[in-house]
Amino acid sequence: MFPTDWTAFSEFFSAESIIPVSVFCAINAVLLFWASIKFLLVFQQGGYKNTRYFKWLLSPETPYLRRLMVLCLLGFLFFNVLNVSFAPIIGNDGITSYVGFLSYGLFTLLYINTESSVNAKVPLKKTKRLVRLSIMFVILLAAATFGLMILLNYVAFVIGDKTTALVRYSLICGMPILTPYILYLAYCVMEPFEWILRRHYLKIAKAKLDSYDVIKIGITGSYAKTSVKEILKTLLSQKYRVLSTPESYNTPLGIALTVKNLDGTHDVFLAEMGARSKGDIKTLAEMVNPSVGVLTGINNQHLETFGSEEAIKQTKYELFEYLEKTGGSGFFTADSDGSRELYDKFGGEKYFAGLTGEDDLVTAENVVTDKHGTTFTLKIKGEEPVECRTVLLGKHSVSNICMAAAVAYKTGLSPEEIALGISRQSAVKHRLELIPNNKNVVIIDDSYNANVDGIKAAMEVLDTFTGRKIVLTPGLVELGKMENVYNMEFGETLAKHADIVVIVGKHNAEMLLSGLSAGGMARENILFEKTATRGNETLNGILQEGDVVLFENDLPDNYN
């Protein structure tokens, strides 16, 4: 029945009307959920931070709202055409109201299929939090659909016009444009529960850490945290049983997840500590309660979220403020101006390590790096020098090794044990990692989170190889107002070290192109592709035997 046939609006809630409405609400909620996978992905990659989500969503470079608008318009137009066309055939039966949804459903399925064919840089991680958020999202989508259908039926009932009643559900076709905002509403609904759950997990993890007599080491810095952590884990494993946070798990929940594996057989716990805003490191330090802190270096990485370089320094120093209160010791790289500044500020037991300081606890000499790795002489104050060899590439890797060696030495390892651990260290994934292949080309994967200091190290490594050098890069991100300046400089640097550059994505394309041109690179040697997939296809098309390929940085999906 149409609303115009009702004697009272309460007839909408009869079984005859409410059952098809409920079924449609469920179907529409599922369709809109699958059409919103990209939004879920970006929300998750942004750490469920609303500011980052809306910055991406409302950016002129983000096409997804425009795509949803097209979906809404197509659904709306074809809904009305189908309903009006089939009304004379089917008659004024209630089912006529739903005929137009065939076109809406078809267009939505086509949209879902098109979006699913685009590979995500980092796939959606099916965590328990994501499942909870998704369930609430679907519930709200169904509720919004149901509420809108009640409203539209009431309007049609009040107006009492047959044509209005026939096309009343056409406005449902506008719901796709609302899905990014309904997702945020689902987040807001769930956040109080998630906050309680996080506090619960962190409390359990802290209690477990406090209950075991292990050496707890916190590692922070703008860059090289994971590299130093992996090297230190290898060195300490020569003597101790070590548990460390995997990959780049450097958030409270990431550390709490790792602590689940802690048991009485472990001697050392390594915690990588990341931050995007003030207070993050303080939270992690209070949770882990480390007796040793390591600062790998400070630069403008994540400047966009911190706001200033001073805020970055203050946040990294939160670990050492904690150590000052608890009587812990600090290890600082001598190869970073920001690190040296915080070394002078720290009032506890402290040590320098690196390539540049004369008073370092650990330093290195006779550094020779080539395409097979690096050799050097490791010097520990008060000990005989030891000769070392590693598969890690570049002088920056030796700086990282010095940091790890200093901590290992003070933790009880001999120089010989440290040298043995250095020889056993494998490449750290996506950090200037040589990728085996059958094309007789050199492939260097430096795709993880490039920064200004990392660029210098990557160019140094690139220079150790002979052959035509090709760099595939999307540029640098999260540098705030200085992003254009740094990408211009990056382009100029690339022009001095590479023969061909493939720019991926339009986010930094203009500045990279300007820098490459200013650096003297011929325009025909600068290629551009919108996506990483197309960039790889272009690369495969120009690749020759003997080429050296560097993948420098890989933007997360909220930049694509």
CATH of the domain at 522: 3.90.190.20
CA distances from 192 to 54, 130, 198, 284, 299 (A): 20, 15, 10, 20, 34
Residue 60 located in a structural domain: yes
User: Phi and psi at residue 235, in whole multiples of 5°?
Assistant: -65, -50
Residue 207 located in a structural domain: no
Q: What span, in angstroms and rounded, lies between the C-alpha atoms of 406 and 250?
A: 22
> What pLDDT is stored for residue 236 in this prediction?
97
CA distances from 410 to 205, 236, 331, 385, 559 (A): 26, 11, 10, 16, 42
Q: Which two tokens stand for residue 43?
A: 């929300």
> What pLDDT is stored for residue 118 in this prediction?
61
Neighbour-count burial of 130, counting CB atoms closer than 10 A to its CB (0-12 exposed, 13-18 middle, 19+ buried): middle
Residue 177 located in a structural domain: yes
| HSE toward the beta carbon, residue 500, CA cutoff 13 A | 20
Residues near 384 by beta carbon (within 8 Å), at least 6 away in sequence: 415
> What pLDDT is stored for residue 378 in this prediction?
96
442 in the same domain as 389? no
Q: What DSSP string runs through 235-273?
A: HHTTTS-EEE--TT--SHHHHHHHHTT--TT--EEEEE-
370 in the same domain as 467? no
> What pLDDT is stored for residue 120 in this prediction?
59
pTM value is 0.79
415 in the same domain as 312? yes
Number of domains in the chain: 3
Domain's final residue, options 424, 459, 488: 424
Q: What span, in angstroms and rounded, lies between the C-alpha atoms of 512 and 529?
A: 13
Q: What span, in angstroms and rounded, lies between the C-alpha atoms of 534 and 435?
A: 20
Neighbour-count burial of 64, counting CB atoms closer than 10 A to its CB (0-12 exposed, 13-18 middle, 19+ buried): middle
136 in the same domain as 28? yes
135 in the same domain as 52? yes
311 in the same domain as 292? yes
Residue 127 located in a structural domain: yes
Taking the CB of residue 382, how many other CB atoms lie within 10 A of it?
8
Q: Which two tokens stand for residue 128?
A: 């328990």
> What pLDDT is stored for residue 558 in this prediction?
46
Q: Largest Cα–Cα distance of the chain, in whole Å?
A: 98
247 in the same domain as 395? yes
Q: What span, in angstroms and rounded, lies between the C-alpha atoms of 287 and 221?
A: 18
Cβ atoms of residues 47 and 168 within 8 Å: no
453 in the same domain as 409? no
In which residue are the tokens 């003597």 written? 239
CATH of the domain at 329: 3.40.1190.10
> What pLDDT is stored for residue 4 in this prediction?
73
Residue 550 located in a structural domain: yes
Residue 206 located in a structural domain: no
Domain's final residue, options 398, 424, 450: 424
Q: Which two tokens stand for residue 419?
A: 């040298």
221 in the same domain as 158? no
Q: What span, in angstroms and rounded, lies between the C-alpha atoms of 227 and 431?
A: 8
Instruction: Measure the CA angle with vertex 537, ends 458 and 505; round to 5°.
Output: 60
Using DSSP, how many helices (H) and how many strands (E) does the chain show? 20, 15
> What pLDDT is stored for residue 281 in this prediction?
93
Domain's final residue, options 161, 193, 225: 193
Residue from 434, 423, 364, 444 nearest 399 by CA:
364
Q: What DSSP string runs through 94-153?
A: GGGGGTTHHHHHHHHHHHHHHHHTS--SSPPP--HHHHHHHHHHHHHHHHHHHHHHHHHH
> What pLDDT is stored for residue 94 in this prediction?
59
Neighbour-count burial of 192, counting CB atoms closer than 10 A to its CB (0-12 exposed, 13-18 middle, 19+ buried): exposed
224 in the same domain as 149? no
Q: What span, in angstroms and rounded, lies between the C-alpha atoms of 77 and 378?
A: 73
Q: What span, in angstroms and rounded, lies between the C-alpha atoms of 225 and 316?
A: 12
CA distances from 282 to 107, 218, 248 (A): 49, 11, 18
pLDDT in tens, the chain (560 residues): 567 778 888 888 888 888 889 999 999 999 999 999 999 999 988 888 888 899 889 888 788 899 999 999 999 999 989 888 876 676 555 577 778 899 999 999 999 998 876 655 667 888 889 999 999 999 999 999 999 999 998 998 899 888 888 888 899 999 999 999 999 999 999 999 999 998 999 999 999 999 999 999 999 998 889 899 999 999 999 999 999 998 778 888 889 999 999 999 999 999 999 887 788 999 999 999 999 999 998 877 766 667 788 888 899 999 999 999 999 999 999 998 899 999 999 999 999 999 976 778 999 999 998 878 899 999 999 999 999 999 998 888 999 999 999 999 999 999 999 999 999 998 888 788 888 877 789 899 888 766 777 888 889 889 989 999 999 998 887 777 778 888 899 999 999 999 999 999 888 889 999 999 999 999 999 999 988 888 889 998 999 999 999 998 775 444 44
> What pLDDT is stored for residue 541 in this prediction?
92
Strands of 362-370's sheet in order across = 242-244, 268-272, 215-220, 292-295, 329-333, 349-353, 362-370, 373-380, 386-390
Q: Where are the alpha helices (DSSP H) in 327-430?
A: 337-345, 395-410, 415-424
Q: DSSP state, 380?
A: E
418 in the same domain as 508? no
Residue 199 located in a structural domain: no
- Amino acid symbol at 546: G
Residue 198 located in a structural domain: no
Q: Which two tokens stand for residue 22?
A: 């409920």
State which residues form the domain around 183.
Answer: 3-193
390 in the same domain as 351? yes
